[in-house]
Amino acid sequence: MKKLLIIIAVILIGIQFIPVERTNPPVKNEMPMPSKVKEVISRACYDCHSNNTEWKWYSKVAPMSFLISYDVKEGREHLNFTEWNYYSMEENEIKQEIWEEVLKERMPPWSYRVVNPKGKLSEEDKRILREWALER
Ligand code: HEC
């Protein structure tokens, strides 16, 4: 039993030395949006969908660090509000997609909402996003 605990401790310490990417590249273009919408999106989405990720202390501790940096990498690849270069037609589709993800409660991911109270969207937050996403 003691041996097992020592092995686990050694593994936990060892994985801390595996390099993890935690970058915040410079912001290029931010997606234009009204300030009310920006307040909600920057609070609930920017940690994974922007170059302004807030890297919390636990994002520096393996194995959480692996999961978080992977989420950020994937999130930025799919949608980056701070490297915005879409044409307006596409923009409408993206807004629609954003609303669908929020409506179905797929975004922010539940695992994020559990540890980040700021990721829980209120009814008012959702109303703001819906109006913005569906307005034409
Ligand atoms: C914990 C990190 C995280 C947060 C916070 C987060 N997302 Fe995501 N998001 C991801 C990841 C990872 C993907 C890509 C994989 C997937 O679809 O699950 C994604 C995908 C998406 C997509 C699909 C893009 C595509 O090309 O298919 C949309 C739209 C989206 N997110 C919107 C949002 C919105 C809006 C918020 C805030 C309300 C948000 N996300 C918050 C991690 C996050």
Rg (CA), the chain: 18
For residues 128 and 91, what is the distance between their CA atoms, to the nearest angstrom?
17
Contact 80, 50 (CB under 8 A): yes
What's the confidence (pLDDT) of residue 135?
86
- Domain range annotation of the chain: 2-134
For residues 70 and 53, what is the distance between their CA atoms, to the nearest angstrom?
13
Residue whose CA is at the smallest distance from ligand 1 atom 28: 98
Mutation test of ligand 1: which of 38, 47, 48 has the most ligand atoms closer than 8 Å to its C-beta?
Answer: 48
pTM: 0.94
Contact 120, 65 (CB under 8 A): no
Mutation test of ligand 1: which of 40, 54, 72, 78 has the most ligand atoms closer than 8 Å to its C-beta?
Answer: 78
User: pLDDT of 70-94, one tens digit each?
Assistant: 999 999 999 999 999 887 789 999 9
**pLDDT averaged over every residue in the chain:** 96
Give, for all 136 residues of the chain, the pLDDT tens digit: 899 999 999 999 999 999 999 999 999 999 999 999 999 999 999 999 999 999 999 999 999 999 999 999 999 999 999 999 887 789 999 999 999 999 999 999 999 999 999 999 999 999 999 999 998 7
Ligand 1 in reach of 79 Cβ (< 6 A):
yes
